[in-house]
Amino acid sequence: MQNFHDLVGGFHHFRANYFLKEKEFFESLAHSQSPKTLVIACCDSRTDPAIVLGCKPGDLFVVRSVAAIVPPPEKAGEYDAVMAAVEYGVKHLDVDHIVVMGHSNCGGIAGLFNPQAVRKERFTSKWISLACPAVERINEENSQEDLTQRMRLSEEAAVLLSIENLLSYPWIEEAVQAQSLSLHALYYDMREGTLNVWNSEIEDFELATR
Ligand SMILES: [Zn+2]
């Protein structure tokens, strides 16, 4: 997909190959949605959660933010797109799961290791600073590791920080306590083509198997 016209062509391909061939399915979705899962993913063009997680229209309620960051309550803006989507997903759509999916080679996390690169991007630099606590902790605890490894660990830690921030909203914490909502941390490695899932028992990410 190189230009706008290709997108229109892409739509006609979708219409001919999916929409018209699965009319009943799309008719059932036309008037309402009831996704069971809310996904918070990075804006990165390579990490579309519906494609990576093999989902169909209607399966996922998706919010994408740079580096899949969720702001904590004290830093959420008065007009906050991420929290508006999370609130709608939890309170209105009543999703059962929230998944935060980070990924390898994340430009947002890389920006925290090289602030000069995003110095002129006012909104971007401000936004990624929300993940600073995760990166600072990784740098402190892993000072012997090389930059590539510290970036990788920071990408994972930022996902966990987003989960922690989600839990600092009382209405999310209450839903988790009541077991009507569960939170999941995923890390998609696009070099290896692997998905890692946070396992709270071993306190580490582990390879997702079937
Ligand atoms: Zn990213």
Question: Where, residue-wise, is CATH 3.40.1050.10 in the chain?
Answer: 33-207
Measured distance CA(141)–CA(79) in Å, rounded: 35
* Encoded amino acid at 92, one letter: H
- In the structure encoding, which two tokens stand for residue 141, read together? 């605890």
Q: What is the pLDDT of residues 133-153, one digit of tens each?
A: 999 999 999 999 999 999 999
Among 176, 156, 178, CA closest to 166: 176
CATH of domain 33-207: 3.40.1050.10
pLDDT (tens digit per residue) in 155-175: 999 999 999 999 999 999 999
Count of alpha carbons within 13 angstroms of residue 96, beta-carbon side: 4
For residue 45, report the distance from its CA to the centre of ligand 1, in Å. 9
Ligand 1 centre distance from Cα of residue 65 (Å): 8
Who surrounds ion ligand 1 at CB < 5 A?
Answer: 42, 44, 106, 108
Q: What is the pLDDT along the chain (210 residues), one digit of tens a residue?
A: 679 999 999 999 999 999 999 999 999 999 999 999 999 999 999 999 999 999 999 999 999 999 999 999 999 999 999 999 999 999 999 999 999 999 999 999 999 999 899 999 999 999 999 999 999 999 999 999 999 999 999 999 999 999 999 999 999 999 999 999 999 999 999 999 999 999 999 999 999 998
**25 Cα: distance to centroid of ligand 1 (angstroms):** 32
The β-bridge partners of 60 are 37
Averaged pLDDT score across all residues of the chain: 96
CA of 152 to the centre of ligand 1 (A): 11
